[in-house]
């Protein structure tokens, strides 16, 4: 076994720390049948009939949870009615990358509309203590070479990411083109002028030749529909609107106002994993209410070596992003440049593959399953290593396939449960029973608290227009939600028939990669190419043809059960990866391109090189 690992290491360039991690894990013994049965039991007890309906939308009585705690004062300005070539909806990485690529294509007359008080998108909102990107910063932070920046650490904290947003905005001169604290309320196509009319909550009616929607996939926070949630009399907020006025401190910790507070946090997803250590350190008492444990792998952050940063050749970031993307897509590379928890699982699969070649008679599915068991045994073993109380450790162990839920990486979360002021309140998969005026009830016990924090995530399975917060009315006043009622209908995930001059930055029917800005950049380049061409050639409209849309829908559906079928499949414990375990009739059609992001990006590049804009119809009236 070790020899095989050795071969993988030598052949594929894995570094020595990985050798020891893999060697340890491969010696672990487990019973596959027992694990299969345990996974089934854990999934079944979490399945619930109400699926996505279990969550509460932040409207009406709950709208206050959406208020922006980061602005000094609300904006007060006159409505705008001007005309521009392009409106970009969203000032997160998507909108900023779209703007940067428009500038590259010679298109400068655009306006960015952003509901937050500045740029940053998800990183503007998610400033909770410990917020950090799980994807290596050298791959994740966009436009590093263009802006001449190398991140300070392998994994960047939110503060550095927000600073980088500012760097991009400054470099590409985006502040003058931005409308902040402005939310789009409706997009309407005006066929008489061939313009989109962009309505906002500030009373604007902006005319645009083109619109690109970079709304972001995890955009609308949600609350759990727990009985009595409206009765809580203490302080409460969602993690994406952290109330530092109440907790004290900032994104790097020091929550000095919590010293005399009993705090509860609901949820143990990627967000809570990061903020719980800071809450544990600062609160008088912390209760962590858990429904399903996350996988918590090694973080292993490290400062950037300045010599290495100096030595990076031109084109290094794209090469690194592509290397990472290939490895997490299961495509062997001569070198693993990133070498982290994401690429580790693939390393294990390569290891299994070597075994198979040497005589083991395993099918590809069995091989993948065994690699997955092995990785999860390692994750569960880590809980035993880091949590002193064996009962607490057992409750923190995830029993499902890796990638049923978003993997997390943290070195401080598990040891936090060794603190005497921190209690894990496990709900055995059932969730919190009730919220009362004074606290949270689980298993008949009321946990009295002063502050309740919702680490309960964001809407994913609801309709696109509900999540974006506005409807889009195209030709003949047809609503996008109606056009997509049976599932997404696009060409390349970016445009729909009946919605001319409209571009969508989205994973549905587009590419999918864990490194989301990589997808955003490929999309931004592609749409800038089309918009740039339309403007320079004097076309007034560009629209996806019905045939091209039909063909792309068939392509997407044709991949059902394909390479991406394993992510959050129906046998997984419920979560947003599998529509909370509910059958979803539109899932196959709304899935990302099943051939994987690498093929998808190649397909886009080839389409641009072909130069005939296949599937699009241009108008010049
Ligand atoms: P998630 O949706 O991942 O987690 C929500 C949590 O709330 C889950 O643990 C869920 O349990 C729990 N929950 C929901 N309802 C109840 C209930 N009634 N009682 C008890 N618990 C409940 O949200 P997050 O904000 O943690 O993460 C969302 C996404 O944001 C991540 O998946 C990731 O994509 C992204 N993110 C990315 C980071 C990065 O590094 N790039 C960092 C942080 C977040 P259950 O699992 O049982 O549903």
Ligand 1 contact, 406 CB (< 6 A):
yes
Q: How far apart are CA 156 and CA 131, in angstroms?
A: 9
H-helix or E-strand containing 112? strand 110-113
Structure-derived torsion over alpha carbons of residues 426, 431, 433, 434, reported in degrees to the nearest 10: 110
What confidence score (pLDDT) does residue 467 get?
Answer: 82
How far apart CA 98 and CA 524 sit, in angstroms, is 5
In what helix (H) or strand (E) does residue 169 lie, and over which residues does it extend? Answer: helix 158-171
- Give the distance (Å) from ligand 1 centre to CA of residue 221: 10
Structural domain for 98, as ranges: 68-220+460-539+591-619
User: Left, alpha or beta for 435 (phi > 0: left; psi -120 to 50: alpha)?
Assistant: beta
In the chain, the largest separation of any two C-alpha atoms, in whole Å, equals: 74
- Domain count along the chain: 1
Tell which phi-psi region holds residue 404, choosing left (phi > 0), alpha (psi between -120 and 50) or beta.
alpha
- Beta strands 223-224 and 439-442: pairing type? unpaired
State how far the alpha carbon of 44 is from the alpha carbons of 37, 53, 379, in Å.
11, 18, 22
Confidence of residue 3 (pLDDT cuts 50, 70, 90): very low
Handedness of CA 334, 339, 340, 345 (dihedral sign): positive
Three-state secondary structure call for residue 347: helix
User: Tens digits of per-residue pLDDT, 481-503?
Assistant: 999 999 999 999 999 999 999 99
**Is 137 within the bounds of a domain?**
yes
Alpha-carbon distance of 361 to 310, in angstroms, equals 48
Coil, strand, or helix at residue 206?
Answer: strand
CA atoms of 578 and 537, how far apart (whole Å):
44
Q: Which of 236, 231, 281 is nearest to 258 (CA)?
A: 281
Q: What is the DSSP secondary structure assignment for residue 294, as one 8-state letter?
A: P
Ligand 1 pocket, 125 CB below 6 A? no
Is 19 a member of any domain? no
Instruction: Give the E-state strand segments of 396-454 in sequence order.
Output: 408-409, 422-426, 434-435, 439-442, 445-448, 451-454
- The structure's pTM equals 0.91
Most informative mutation of 227, 406, 519 for ligand 1 (most atoms within 8 A of CB): 406
Q: What span, in angstroms and rounded, lies between the C-alpha atoms of 66 and 238?
A: 8
Nearest residue to 298 via CA among 390, 194, 411: 411
Distance between alpha carbon 350 and the CA centroid of its chain, in Å?
26
Q: What is the mean pLDDT of residues 10-23?
A: 29
Number of residues written out for the chain: 621
Q: Quote the percentage of the chain above a pLDDT of 70.
A: 91
Looking from the CA of residue 429, the nearest atom of ligand 1 is 47
pLDDT surpassing 90 at residue 468: no
| Atom 37 of ligand 1, nearest CA residue | 270
Would you say the CB of residue 517 lies under 6 angstroms from ligand 1?
Answer: no
Q: Give per-residue pLDDT as tens, 124-160.
A: 999 999 999 999 999 999 999 999 999 999 999 999 9
Treating both helix axes as pointing N-terminal to C-terminal, what angle do 93-104 and 516-536 enclose, rounded to 10 degrees? 40
User: Nearest to residue 188, comparing CAs of 574, 522, 383, 475?
Assistant: 475
Helix or strand run (H / E) with residue 170: helix 158-171
Radius of gyration of the CA atoms of the chain, in A: 24
Is the separation of the CB atoms in 184 and 470 below 8 Å? yes
337 is a domain residue = no
Is the CB–ligand 1 distance for residue 431 below 6 Å?
yes
Residue-averaged pLDDT of the chain: 90
Report the b/e string of 554-580 with b at 16+ CB within 10 A: ebbeebeeeebebbbeeebbbbbbbbb
What φ, ψ does residue 443 adopt, rounded to 5°? 55, 35
How far apart CA 488 and CA 184 sit, in angstroms, is 21
Q: Is residue 339 part of a domain?
A: no
Quote the pLDDT of residue 364.
Answer: 75
65-96 pLDDT, tens digit each: 999 999 999 999 999 999 999 999 999 999 99
- 538: tokens are 């004097």
Q: Report whether residue 133 contacts ligand 1, using a CB cutoff of 6 Å.
A: yes
Alpha helices in 27-157 (DSSP H): 32-46, 93-104, 122-125, 137-140, 144-147
Q: Which residue has the least CA distance to atom 35 on ligand 1?
A: 270
DSSP per-residue letters across 377-402: HHHHHHHHHH-SSHHHHHHT---S-T
Answer yes or no: is the C-beta of 266 below 6 A from any ligand 1 atom. yes
Mean pLDDT across 183-210? 98
Tokens of 255: 């929550």
**Cα angle vertex 268, ends 266, 269, to 5°?**
120
| Ligand 1 pocket check for 130: Cβ under 6 Å | no
Task: Indicate whether 399 belongs to any domain.
Answer: no
What is the spatial distance between Cα 185 and Cα 200, in angstroms, rounded to a whole number? 5
- 243 in a structural domain: no
Q: Is residue 609 situated within a structural domain?
A: yes
DSSP tag of 567: T
- Cα separations (Å) of 201 from 59, 91, 186, 438? 15, 16, 9, 36
Instruction: State the Cα–Cα distance between residues 537 and 284, nearest whole angstrom.
Output: 66
Residue 367, pLDDT above cutoff 90: no
| Pair 383, 397: CB distance under 8 Å | yes
Q: How far is the CA of 244 from the centre of ligand 1 (A)?
A: 21
Q: Distance from the CA of 306 to the center of ligand 1, in angstroms?
A: 35
Q: Which domain CATH number covers 195?
A: 3.50.50.60
Inform me whether the pLDDT recorded for 1 exceeds 60. no
> Sorting pLDDT into bands at 50, 70 and 90, what band is 354?
low
Q: Which two tokens stand for residue 503?
A: 């571009």
| Dist. CA 464 → ligand 1 center (Å) | 19
Query: Residue 428's CB: how many other CB atoms inside 10 A?
Result: 13
**450 domain-assigned:** no
Q: What is the pLDDT of residues 384-422, one digit of tens each?
A: 999 999 999 999 999 999 889 999 999 999 999 999 999
* 289 pLDDT higher than 70: yes
């Amino acid at each position: 076994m070790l020899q095989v690992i050795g071969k993988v290491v030598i052949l594929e360039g894995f570094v020595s720390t990985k050798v020891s991690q893999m060697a340890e894990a491969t010696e672990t013994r487990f019973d596959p049948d027992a694990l299969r049965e345990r996974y089934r039991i854990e999934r079944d007890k979490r399945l619930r009939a109400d699926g996505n309906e279990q969550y509460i939308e932040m409207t009406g009585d709950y709208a206050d949870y959406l208020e922006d705690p980061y602005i000094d004062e609300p904006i007060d300005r006159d409505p705008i009615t001007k005309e521009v070539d392009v409106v970009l909806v969203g000032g997160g990485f998507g909108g900023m990358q779209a703007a940067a690529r428009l500038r590259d294509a010679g298109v400068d007359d655009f306006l960015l509309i952003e509901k937050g008080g500045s740029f940053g998108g998800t990183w503007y909102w998610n400033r909770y203590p410990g917020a950090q990107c799980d994807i290596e910063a050298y791959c994740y932070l966009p436009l590093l070479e263009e802006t001449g920046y190398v991140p300070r650490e392998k994994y960047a904290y939110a503060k550095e990411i927000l600073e980088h947003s500012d760097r991009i905005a400054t470099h590409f001169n985006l502040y003058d083109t931005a409308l902040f604290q402005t939310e789009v309320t409706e997009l309407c196509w005006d066929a008489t002028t061939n313009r989109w009319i962009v309505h906002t909550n500030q009373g604007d009616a902006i005319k645009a030749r083109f619109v690109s929607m970079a709304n972001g996939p995890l955009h609308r926070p949600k609350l759990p529909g727990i009985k009595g949630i409206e009765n809580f009399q203490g302080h409460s907020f969602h993690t994406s609107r952290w109330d530092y006025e109440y907790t004290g401190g900032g994104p790097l910790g020091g929550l000095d106002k919590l010293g005399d507070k009993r705090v509860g946090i609901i949820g143990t997803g990627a967000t809570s994993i990061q903020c719980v250590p800071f809450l544990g350190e600062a609160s008088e008492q912390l209760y962590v209410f858990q429904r399903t444990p996350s996988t918590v792998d090694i973080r292993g952050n490290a400062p950037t070596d300045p010599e290495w940063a100096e030595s990076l050749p031109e084109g290094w970031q794209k090469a690194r992003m592509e290397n990472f993307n290939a490895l997490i897509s299961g495509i062997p590379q001569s070198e693993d440049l990133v070498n982290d928890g994401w690429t580790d699982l693939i390393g294990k699969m390569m290891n299994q593959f070597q075994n198979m070649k040497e005589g083991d008679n395993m099918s590809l599915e069995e091989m993948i399953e065994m690699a997955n068991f092995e990785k999860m045994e390692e994750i569960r073993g880590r809980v035993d290593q880091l949590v002193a109380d064996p009962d607490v450790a057992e409750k923190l162990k995830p029993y499902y396939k890796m990638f049923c839920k978003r993997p997390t990486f943290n070195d401080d979360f598990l040891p936090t449960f060794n603190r005497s002021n921190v209690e894990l309140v496990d709900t055995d998969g059932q969730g919190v029973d009730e919220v009362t005026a004074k606290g949270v009830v689980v298993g008949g016990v009321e946990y009295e608290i002063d502050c309740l924090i919702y680490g309960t995530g964001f809407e994913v399975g609801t309709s696109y227009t509900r999540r974006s917060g506005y409807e889009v009315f195209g030709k003949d006043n047809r609503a996008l939600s109606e056009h997509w009622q049976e599932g997404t209908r696009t060409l390349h995930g970016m445009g729909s028939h009946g919605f001319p001059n409209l571009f969508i930055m989205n994973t549905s029917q587009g590419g999918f990669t864990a490194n989301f800005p990589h997808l955003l950049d490929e999309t931004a380049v592609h749409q800038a190419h089309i918009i740039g061409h339309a403007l320079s050639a004097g076309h007034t409209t560009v629209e996806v043809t019905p045939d091209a849309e039909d063909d792309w829908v068939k392509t997407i559906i044709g991949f059902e059960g394909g390479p991406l079928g394993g992510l959050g499949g129906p046998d997984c414990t419920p979560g947003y990866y599998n529509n909370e375990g509910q059958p979803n009739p539109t899932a196959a059609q709304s899935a990302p391109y099943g051939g994987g992001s690498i093929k998808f990006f190649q397909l886009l590049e080839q389409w641009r090189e072909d130069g005939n804009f296949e599937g699009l119809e241009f108008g010049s009236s």
